[in-house]
Amino acid sequence: MIYKDCIKIWEKGLNKDLTNKFFLNFTYCSNKIRNNETKLRDVEFIFKDKRATGFNGDQKTIKEIENHKEIFDNIFELSQENKSKLSINLIKELHYKLMKDCYSNELLSRGEKPGRFKKGDYVVGLHDEASPLGVEEKLSSLLDEINSIVINEDNALEVVSNLYCYFVQIHPFADGNGLLGRLLINYILLGNNLTPVIIFYNNTDEYYLALDYFNKTRKIDKMIEFLEDEAYKTWIKDYNLKIKSLKEFL
């Protein structure tokens, strides 16, 4: 299994510089999927505790990056406080931090706020009408299932694929569900001392195909395969984090 090889590489090079480099690249790719204005240069500036210079775009693009950095600065403490488990309150807290000052004016005018479950707005194939209570019940059931599993290198990708696919399907928030879902994948992996994964923005076709397959079949096989490929590209193939240049992080 390729993911086990990735774990060996991660454990061999694990230190603060390597994790910071991962967080930077993950933030760039995850935000780029959502917002094509995201630039690696701006992410690098902000992760060095500097304000991005020469940026003339939407300031929400910069805020999206800053919000990620704020979460990653405290993600290990957050995981420890929650014993690497998930809860409704944690989901709301992470969503609020992730989407702070990033909601569209249209959503704000409708009274939507980060960290609050939205009525309806389910993906195709699910109920058209859903109360916030119904959303919370579905999400709570999913989190209970994930929390009941002893996560290890053999089942990690299956667990996070299950979490991600159903979380996006439940679609609890008016905005930012994909962004938060990608973060939750790595919250779970890091919290269980396992290798995190970047979902690369230039692989979005495969990413959406895996989600579409799940929506049609309720099977997570394609997402597991996709995440294993992304783990390979993150840690083994010559990508942003590459084994050949591991020494630059040490």
> Has 178 been labeled as part of a binding site?
yes
181 marked as binding residue: yes
143 marked as part of a ligand binding site: no
What's the CA gap between 117 and 56, in Å, rounded?
A: 33
Say which residues have a Cβ less than 8 Å from residue 116's Cβ, sequence separation at least 6. Answer: 92, 132, 173
95 is catalytic: no
Residue 115 in marked binding region? no
What's the chain's length in residues?
Answer: 250
Q: Is 179 annotated as a binding residue?
A: yes
176 annotated to bind ligand? yes
Q: Per the annotation, does 34 bind a ligand?
A: no
CA 77 vs. chain centroid, Å, equals 17
* Cβ neighbours of 214 (radius 10 Å): 21
Give me the catalytic one of 171, 183, 210, 241: 171
- Please check if 54 is assigned to a binding site: no
State both tokens at 126: 């699910």
> Which CB contacts under 8 angstroms, 24+ apart, belong to 19-23?
20/47, 21/241, 21/249, 22/196, 22/198, 22/234, 22/241, 23/47, 23/68, 23/69, 23/72, 23/75
- 125 among the known binding-site residues? yes
Flag whether 208 is marked binding: yes
Annotated binding-site residue? 180:
yes
Feature table: binding site for ATP = 124-127, 175-182, 207-208, 215
Feature table: binding site = 124-127, 175-182, 207-208, 215
Residues marked active site are found at 171
